[in-house]
């Protein structure tokens, strides 16, 4: 009991998690990770699958290293969204890592592809940028980093499936305008800076329109070589 009080006093989920369920005080709700992320699930879904709000992103199945980098970025203001900045301000890094691990392990199915109102030409332009890039404008294929199946790579590159066009274009905009930054060298900033508004609309519509692949897990670290260095994906 004393130990339990100390554990609660420390506020470190890490220790409490390693306790067998029988050590729990009677009448207390179960101290599981699912219970602890309840503050997050109204916006991200129970399993991190996202919600009907077009701006709340899916978290499930993204590499834990990627999710952890984002939580650190919200905590220290490198990435800005006030509700999340406040929520994470006083949480310890080990707790952020546990939440990242929890959402990385979830495997809810991908949503049905988003309906969209763009033309065939726009989707075709998106497909070209994602699959081949535009060498004349030094834009690498998105798939060269996000993977041929767009499911990302451990530890730092997220998959791009199951996201809605509004979320994708707002993130690309945030990099172009400097309100989202990643570890240096910030390769996504370099990519986003080369995209026009029309490119952003096209890639966002195309990505949100992809059918779910059979395997949605990220590729293992080092599965392919990136076209240029990313601070989030150390060698
Ligand atoms: C009020 C709604 C809300 C709550 C509550 C919330 N989030 Fe978020 N979260 C968002 C939005 C919106 C974004 C995208 C913000 C942006 O970059 O503009 C986001 C982004 C994220 C990202 C980055 C996703 C990515 O793919 O880059 C992670 C990780 C995350 N949230 C985890 C959490 C965790 C863990 C909690 C609970 C401690 C939480 N969120 C609570 C709305 C919320
Ligand atoms: C050189 C490698 C590289 C290329 C090329 C690249 N990306 Fe990325 N991308 C990354 C990395 C690394 C991250 C994670 C950055 C971080 O840690 O926040 C990322 C993150 C993203 C995110 C954020 C996802 C989320 O859940 O919030 C989007 C959207 C994105 N990339 C879209 C694109 C698109 C569209 C293209 C092609 C036009 C592209 N990327 C090309 C490396 C790359």
Give residue-wise pLDDT tens across range 25-71.
Answer: 567 767 888 888 999 999 999 999 998 888 999 999 999 999 999 99
Residue 150: CB within 6 Å of ligand 2?
Answer: no
Q: Would you state the pLDDT for residue 25? A: 58
Does 5 have pLDDT greater than 50? Answer: no
- The two three-digit tokens of residue 157, written as one number: 């590159």
Distance CA 103, CA 180 (A): 21
Q: What percent of the chain has pLDDT over 70?
A: 89
How many residues in the chain? 235
Q: Which of 39, 44, 104 to mutate to test the pocket of ligand 1 (most atoms within 8 A of CB)?
A: 44
Terminal CA-to-CA distance of the chain, rounded, Å? 46
Among all ligands shown, which has an atom nearest to the Cα of 55? 1
Closest residue by Cα to atom 13, ligand 1, is 56
CA distance 172 to 150: 16
Average pLDDT along the chain? 88
CA of 139, nearest ligand number: 2
Residues 84 and 150: their CA atoms lie apart, in Å, by: 26
pLDDT tens profile 91-115: 999 999 999 999 999 999 888 887 8
Closest Cα to atom 10, ligand 1: which residue?
A: 56
Tokens of 130: 């994602």
């Amino acid at each position: 009991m004393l130990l339990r009080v100390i554990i609660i006093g420390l506020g470190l989920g890490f220790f409490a998690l390693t306790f067998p369920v029988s050590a729990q005080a009677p009448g207390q709700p179960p101290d599981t990770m699912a219970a602890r992320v309840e503050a997050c699930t109204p916006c991200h879904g129970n399993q991190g699958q996202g919600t009907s709000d077009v701006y709340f992103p899916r978290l499930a199945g993204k590499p834990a290293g990627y999710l952890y980098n984002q939580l650190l970025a919200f905590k220290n203001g490198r990435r800005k969204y006030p509700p999340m900045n406040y929520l994470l301000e006083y949480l310890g890094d080990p707790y952020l890592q546990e939440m990242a691990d929890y959402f990385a392990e979830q495997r809810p199915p991908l949503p049905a592809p988003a309906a969209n109102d763009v033309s065939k030409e726009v989707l075709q332009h998106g497909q070209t940028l994602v699959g081949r890039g535009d060498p004349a404008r030094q834009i690498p294929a998105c798939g060269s980093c996000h993977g041929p199946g767009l499911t990302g790579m451990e530890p730092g590159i997220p998959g791009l499936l199951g996201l809605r066009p509004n979320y994708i274009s707002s993130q690309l905009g945030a990099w172009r305008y400097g309100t989202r930054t990643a570890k240096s060298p910030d390769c996504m900033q370099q990519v986003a800076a080369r995209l026009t508004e029309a490119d952003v609309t096209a890639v966002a519509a195309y990505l949100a329109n992809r059918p779910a692949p059979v395997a949605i897990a990220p590729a293992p670290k080092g599965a392919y070589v990136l076209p240029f260095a990313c601070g989030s994906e150390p060698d």
